[in-house]
């Protein structure tokens, strides 16, 4: 019987499930990364999880390509305090003495800011709107070609040092600063308020969902309406310097002494960072792909993965419900390759991580099937990959390790990348998780796969 595209994809899914299920269960942890610098890092932003920029003291810029961090020449020795971009080839960094540098995809170059006042934060919306804020109420607006300094407020009344800014639209933003100052701008109106007296260092939001500002003594405020904010308990008295979120129920704030707190949509709770230095900024491409930076070149990485010796048991009800989703349960699917995969599935899905991966792919199978149905080229490549790597599946089953050719691994990566380019948001995120594991090597190591 000819298999449908969705069923064909489950061949690869089962290979992945069978392999990954034999490794330790993953835990939610922060892990240190090698930054290549001992300079303090003050800001971080990326266009994706494999295109991330961190900036800091002495003009340092380091870039993450999904595998490792490497230094970049910024062309300045001034302290850089903030970074933001509209894309990976349109990135701005701001800092001391009004310094602004721009990355065009190949190199960094200096821009004329028309100010010598220190700039502390930057945000924007699209390629023609950026706004940097700084000391003494300064706001420097970028119109797509030049930077224009002025007061952060339309009335010119703000004199406090402004530390952070976030845009929800081209003409809507919120800036925060010393003494609890919050400046809100919307079309045809703006307002400056002071809901607290402590310094606020950062602000971030998900438009239409949640906006948080954080600062001294663990202060966290949530916007509850136009010019109205409510204090929330952060669970820490450490000063918070950076905040970022992937959704209204998934925010991270970082700060003094390695403090990290997380918001789950209901309340804030502490996370173990295993760091004691101050953390200055946080950013992620998704809630399971988050970076925090700080003193001494510190970079921490958070994912829902990270080696753990903890064993989690999946009960029979959970495992059975996952198996029901698998099209290879049907007796009609009887060829040898499918039978091998069925055996692997039945013996390996008992582990927690195996079940997570299985669920992740089964919930996307309809979309994957549609993509393969619409693209004969992708479908043919998938068939070829499945046939080529079936011996590795059997090797993993019998020996617990396997060897694959480097060219086959590259072809798998290219196939997944092309599939990702046609996928919706959730499937793109799931594929990105696998691609990062392949690129960094940890996935292959955990699988017990050697590349020749």
pLDDT (tens digit, 9 = 90+) per residue, 200-225? 999 999 988 899 999 999 999 999 99
Q: How far apart are CA 137 and CA 447, in angstroms?
A: 54
Contact 84, 117 (CB under 8 A): no
287 and 239, same structural domain? yes
437 and 378, same structural domain? yes
* Residues spanned by the domain of 437: 5-26+308-451
44 and 179, same structural domain? yes
340 and 292, same structural domain? no
Low-confidence ranges of the chain (pLDDT < 70): 1-28, 305-364, 393-394, 396-398, 400, 437, 442-447
422 and 277, same structural domain? no
Q: How far apart are CA 134 and CA 175, in angstroms?
A: 10
Judging by DSSP bridges, how do beta strands 200-206 and 210-215 pair with one another?
antiparallel
Domain boundary among the residues 281, 303, 325 is at 303
Domain boundary among the residues 235, 268, 303 is at 303
The pLDDT of residue 123 is: 97
9 and 79, same structural domain? no
pLDDT (tens digit, 9 = 90+) per residue, 406-424? 888 888 888 888 888 888 8
The pLDDT of residue 446 is: 59
Is this model's pTM higher than 0.75 or not? no
342 and 282, same structural domain? no
353 and 256, same structural domain? no
The pLDDT of residue 318 is: 39
As given in the structure block, the two tokens for residue 305 are 């993965």
Domain boundary among the residues 303, 323, 343 is at 303
* Angle of the 5-20 helix axis to the 376-399 helix axis, nearest 10: 30
Q: Which residue has the tokens 């970082």?
A: 254
As given in the structure block, the two tokens for residue 11 are 């061949």
386 and 329, same structural domain? yes
185: which residues sit within 8 A by CB, 6+ positions away?
A: 154, 171, 172, 173, 174
Torsion of CA 177, 52, 307, 321, to 10 degrees: 90
90-126: b (≥16 Cβ within 10 Å) or e: bbbbbbbebbbbbbeeeebeebebebebbbbbbbbbe
The pLDDT of residue 392 is: 75
Would you tell me how many other CB atoms lie within 10 Å of the CB of residue 264? 10
Question: What is the tally of structural domains in the chain?
Answer: 2
381 and 232, same structural domain? no
Q: Is 325 left (phi over 0), alpha (psi -120 to 50) or beta?
A: alpha
362 and 218, same structural domain? no
189 and 165, same structural domain? yes
Q: How far apart are CA 327 and CA 338, in angstroms?
A: 10
CATH of the domain at 163: 2.130.10.10
As given in the structure block, the two tokens for residue 448 are 């017990």
448: which residues sit within 8 A by CB, 6+ positions away?
A: 19, 22, 23, 396, 400, 401, 402
């Amino acid at each position: 019987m000819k298999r449908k595209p969705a069923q064909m994809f489950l061949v690869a899914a089962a290979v992945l499930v069978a392999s990954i299920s034999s490794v330790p269960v993953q835990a939610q942890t922060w892990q240190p990364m090698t930054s290549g610098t001992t300079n303090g890092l003050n800001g971080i932003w990326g266009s994706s999880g494999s295109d991330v920029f961190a900036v800091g003291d002495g003009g340092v810029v380091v870039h993450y390509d999904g595998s490792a961090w490497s230094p970049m020449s910024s062309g300045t020795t001034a302290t850089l305090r903030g970074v933001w971009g509209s894309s990976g080839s349109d990135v701005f960094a701001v800092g001391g003495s009004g310094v602004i540098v721009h990355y065009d995809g190949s190199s960094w170059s200096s821009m004329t800011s028309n100010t010598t006042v220190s700039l502390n934060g930057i945000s924007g919306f699209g390629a023609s709107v950026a706004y940097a804020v700084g000391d003494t109420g300064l706001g420097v607006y970028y119109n797509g070609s030049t930077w224009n300094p002025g007061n952060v407020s339309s009335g010119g009344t703000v004199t406090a040092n402004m530390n952070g800014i976030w845009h929800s639209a081209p003409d809507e933003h919120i800036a925060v600063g010393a003494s609890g100052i919050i400046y809100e701008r919307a079309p045809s109106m703006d307002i400056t308020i002071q809901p607290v007296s402590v310094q606020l260092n950062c602000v971030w939001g998900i438009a239409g969902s949640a906006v948080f500002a954080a600062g001294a003594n663990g202060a966290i405020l949530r916007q509850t309406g136009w010019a109205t904010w409510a204090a929330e308990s952060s669970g820490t008295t450490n000063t918070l310097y950076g905040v970022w979120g992937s959704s209204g129920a998934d925010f991270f704030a970082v700060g003094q002494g390695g403090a990290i707190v997380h918001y789950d949509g209901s309340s804030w709770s502490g996370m173990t960072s295993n760091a004691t230095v101050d953390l200055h900024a946080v950013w992620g491409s998704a809630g399971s792909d988050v970076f925090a930076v700080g003193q001494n070149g510190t970079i921490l990485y958070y994912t829902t993965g990270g080696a753990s010796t903890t064993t989690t048991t999946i009960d029979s009800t959970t495992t059975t419900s996952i198996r029901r989703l698998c099209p290879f349960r049907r007796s009609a699917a009887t060829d040898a390759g499918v039978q091998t995969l069925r055996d692997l599935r039945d013996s390996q899905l008992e582990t927690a991580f195996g079940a997570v991966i299985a669920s992740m792919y089964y919930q996307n199978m309809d979309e994957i099937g549609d993509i393969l149905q619409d693209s004969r080229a992708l479908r043919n490549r998938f068939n070829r990959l499945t046939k080529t790597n079936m011996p590795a599946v059997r090797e993993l089953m019998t020996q617990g390790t396997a060897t694959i050719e480097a060219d086959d691994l590259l072809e798998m990566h290219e196939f997944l990348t092309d599939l990702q380019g046609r996928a919706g948001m959730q499937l793109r995120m799931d594929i990105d998780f696998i691609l990062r594991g392949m690129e960094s090597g940890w996935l292959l190591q955990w699988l017990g796969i050697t590349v020749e």
